Amino acid sequence: MGNAKRPGEFELIRRYFAPLAAATPAALGLGDDAAILTPRPGQELVVTTDALVASVHFLPDDPPDQIARKMLRENLSDLAAKGAAPIGYLMSCAFDHTVDEAWIVAFCAGLAADQAEFGVGLLGGDTVGTPGPLTLTVTALGEVPAGRAMRRNAAKADDLVFVSGTLGDSALGLKRLRGGLLALSSEEGAFLIDRYRLPQPRLRLGRALMESGLAKAALDVSDGLIADLGHIGEQSDLAAEVERTRLPLSPAGAHALDEDPALIEDIVAGGEDYELLFTASAAAQAAIAALAERLGLRVTPIGRMMPSSGQPGAVRLLDEKGREIALKRRGWQHF
Amino acid sequence: MGNAKRPGEFELIRRYFAPLAAATPAALGLGDDAAILTPRPGQELVVTTDALVASVHFLPDDPPDQIARKMLRENLSDLAAKGAAPIGYLMSCAFDHTVDEAWIVAFCAGLAADQAEFGVGLLGGDTVGTPGPLTLTVTALGEVPAGRAMRRNAAKADDLVFVSGTLGDSALGLKRLRGGLLALSSEEGAFLIDRYRLPQPRLRLGRALMESGLAKAALDVSDGLIADLGHIGEQSDLAAEVERTRLPLSPAGAHALDEDPALIEDIVAGGEDYELLFTASAAAQAAIAALAERLGLRVTPIGRMMPSSGQPGAVRLLDEKGREIALKRRGWQHF
């Protein structure tokens, strides 16, 4: 796998990856076979992993610093959904021939920026060559007080369904990047593309929901609203209803939907929103609104959980007259 | 990424991966975003990750159950080098078009067999499609009493260097698989190929070395003897010497080397031995021999650590007259 355009593995580690681990004693300077973590008393460890493949999960010509940050943030979003505080991450990189030293410099700069922003460090990893597409895998670790992690399976019938931020921006941003949504202004397009490239893991919200006990079930919207609410339903043996008019949209998202009502599919099933989706009792609604205001983050009730009636995981999207909107797909297809 | 030959991701998880996690409560049935581990008091967590790419780290037509077992064992070998007891693993699979349902069935059967053999469970993972080669990443977790994990940086000058098992079998097995080493019998070839496909992580030896405190520095030989002993040297600021006549060889390995003395390069620099390489004081030699006998595992002193003399990580291979044997390479090249 010789590649004259970049240094060998050990030089790469010394020059670019070891500085990302310098502030993290558990990483042993990346000079060892493994990281060694000392869990804090009373804390449980939350561990999650995600793989990203060029042309499947990001565009090969996406800026490398944004690929790095998106990769890290997707995993931080999983920790946010559990109410966990992030500790660090291991990263496995299969570099293809397109990855040269300049790419790695930019990639590591993106990691460094987000490490500072989210208070995490590189714990370890592996770097290999691949004849195929660039493939990146992150395993993120976080901690949560024992027994307090939020789960998917804790929703109850009549819970309200809440979502943070706005939905659909990422899927619409990808459409714009691919040359679509021409009715939008360049500012609107840039906003959506930024939302596609740079998810905002809702760590503070997740932490506050865990600490307050306000949320019952929670997850982050990665596959798409309908599919992910379906996951809560499947795990909790419930069905759910969502009202289209309540879905929180950005101004750019609302403009796009005005121009083309068929984009509702992208908004509810496009995926990669990385917003928190959670259920809570109706009695908690005022406290959740106060929490959202304190965090300066939009949190919107969009529907409710219902008995499964033999169809656990069923999710109906209703129009303003309460009629079901037919959807061709529920979410991102992994294969 | 549609693929008619295999079920979708969620069906794959339900049918094949969830059973691998059934005995591991921390995996939350693979129905959640993350695994939740409760560390035992007084234990530190050891975390390691490795990526494998088809055609780079294994042959695309290697039996899928053996690919699975080798992937898992490589990570268990990293835990063994730390003296850690394995807990479980997360697995990220980027499946290409060659992966059909029969392949996945065999792959999971291999995982199930090794889970039973080594007492580990699947904790979580991610499954994606890739247009490129099949790429597999495992993150393994283990535990070790706080402060007791073996490290690479703890060797001392005049320590003896020990290695478990025999060296070079895996690299020679790969050569045989590729049509080489025709002077060997089919039994000898089959032995070497098995050593290539199915590493034996030395968990009991690693655990015993950690508990007894007999070893100073330790790691597992994955890049090759010379490169990995160099890693101990670099991390410990030492150099090392190894005597060729002391290298432990299997009968098949010794026969191959008799036929072609140039194979010494493959034996000391071919990599993928997954034997433990460690240093210990000369005073510990008898106790190490007794430990090896108790475990029924060959453990051989092959050389010694020396002051670095300005070349930390330098490793010299000496012939029977004490002359240095020139080597074209030190170990597996990752790029």
Residue pLDDT, tens place only, A155-175: 999 999 999 999 999 999 999
Considering only CB atoms, B32 lies closest to which of A9, A28, A152, namely A152
Q: Is the pLDDT at B334 greater than 80, yes or no?
A: no
From the CA of B59, how many Å to the nearest CA of chain A?
Answer: 13
Residue pLDDT, tens place only, A129-143: 999 999 999 999 999
List, in order of start, the domains of chain B with CATH numbers: 9-145 (3.30.1330.10), 160-318 (3.90.650.10)
Q: Hey, what are A122's tokens?
A: 């590189």
Per-residue pLDDT band for A24 (boundaries 50, 70, 90) equals: confident
Query: Are residues A92 and B132, on separate chains, in Cβ contact within 8 Å?
Result: no
Q: Is the pLDDT at A7 greater than 90, yes or no?
A: no
SS3 category, B218: strand
Q: Is the pLDDT at B313 greater than 70, yes or no?
A: yes
From the CA of A34, how many Å to the nearest CA of chain B?
Answer: 5
Distance of CA B180 to CAs A1, B60, B177, B252, Å? 21, 18, 7, 14
Write out the H or E segment, with its range, that includes residue A7: none
Residue A273 CA neighbour count, 13 Å, CB half? 34
Q: What pLDDT is attached to residue B181?
A: 95
Query: From CA A4, how far away is CA B143, in angstroms rounded?
Result: 40
pTM score of the predicted model: 0.91
Mutate to test the interface with A, among B36, B73, B203 (most CBs of A within 10 A): B36
Residue pLDDT, tens place only, B52-62: 999 988 888 89
SS3 category, B64: helix
Considering only CB atoms, A128 lies closest to which of B31, B84, B334, namely B334
Query: Are residues A124 and B334, on separate chains, in Cβ contact within 8 Å?
Result: no
Strand partners, B121: B88
Task: Tell me chain A's radius of gyration from C-alpha atoms.
Answer: 21
Per-residue pLDDT band for A1 (boundaries 50, 70, 90) equals: very low
Query: Are residues A33 and B123, on separate chains, in Cβ contact within 8 Å?
Result: no
DSSP state of B140: E
Q: Is the pLDDT at A321 greater than 80, yes or no?
A: yes
Cβ–Cβ under 8 Å, residues B149 and B44:
yes
Query: Are residues A81 and B33, on separate chains, in Cβ contact within 8 Å?
Result: yes
Q: Which residues of A touch B141 (CB under 8 A)?
A: 47
Provide the strand spans (E) within chain A. 35-37, 43-53, 85-95, 121-129, 135-145, 160-164, 218-220, 238-243, 276-280, 299-307, 315-318
Q: What pLDDT is attached to residue A29?
A: 78
Distance of CA A316 to CAs A216, A278, A312, B34, B326, Å? 20, 17, 12, 27, 72
The separation between the first and the last C-alpha atoms of chain A, rounded to the nearest angstrom, is: 28
From the CA of B187, how many Å to the nearest CA of chain A?
Answer: 32
Considering only CB atoms, A153 lies closest to which of B31, B34, B125, namely B31
Per-residue pLDDT band for B195 (boundaries 50, 70, 90) equals: very high
Distance of CA B313 to CAs A15, A125, B231, B307, Å? 18, 22, 6, 10
Query: Are residues A49 and B125, on separate chains, in Cβ contact within 8 Å?
Result: yes
From the CA of A254, how many Å to the nearest CA of chain B?
Answer: 30
Q: What pLDDT is attached to residue A3?
A: 53
Residue pLDDT, tens place only, B31-40: 787 899 988 8
Q: Which residues of A touch B125 (CB under 8 A)?
A: 49
* ipTM reported for the complex surpasses 0.90: no
Mutate to test the interface with B, among A38, A79, A91, A137 (most CBs of B within 10 A): A137
Per-residue pLDDT band for B3 (boundaries 50, 70, 90) equals: low
Considering only CB atoms, A9 lies closest to which of B52, B131, B335, namely B335
B309: left (phi over 0), alpha (psi -120 to 50) or beta: left
From the CA of B11, how many Å to the nearest CA of chain A?
Answer: 11
Query: From CA B84, how far away is CA B150, in angstroms rounded?
Result: 9
Q: Is the pLDDT at B335 greater than 60, yes or no?
A: no
SS3 category, B311: coil
Query: Are residues B82 and A135, on separate chains, in Cβ contact within 8 Å?
Result: no
DSSP for B221-281?
A: -SS-HHHHHHHHHHHHTEEEEEEGGG----HHHHHHHHH-GGGHHHHHHS-----EEEEE-
Contacts with A207 (C-beta within 8 Å, 6 or more apart), sequence order: A80, A83, A84, A85
**Mean local confidence (pLDDT), B203-215:** 97
Q: C-alpha angle with apex A31: A5 to A11, nearest 5 degrees?
A: 15
Torsion sign across C-alpha atoms B116, B118, B122, B125: negative
Residue of B nearest to A95 (CA): B335
Query: From CA A200, how far away is CA A234, in angstroms rounded?
Result: 26
Residue pLDDT, tens place only, B127-177: 999 998 999 999 999 999 999 999 999 999 999 999 999 999 999 999 999
Query: From CA A38, how far away is CA B39, in angstroms rounded?
Result: 9
Residue pLDDT, tens place only, B226-277: 999 999 999 999 999 999 999 999 999 999 999 999 999 999 999 999 999 9
Query: Are residues B135 and A135, on separate chains, in Cβ contact within 8 Å?
Result: yes
From the CA of A55, how many Å to the nearest CA of chain B?
Answer: 9
The mean pLDDT value of chain B amounts to 93
Q: What pLDDT is attached to residue A335?
A: 53
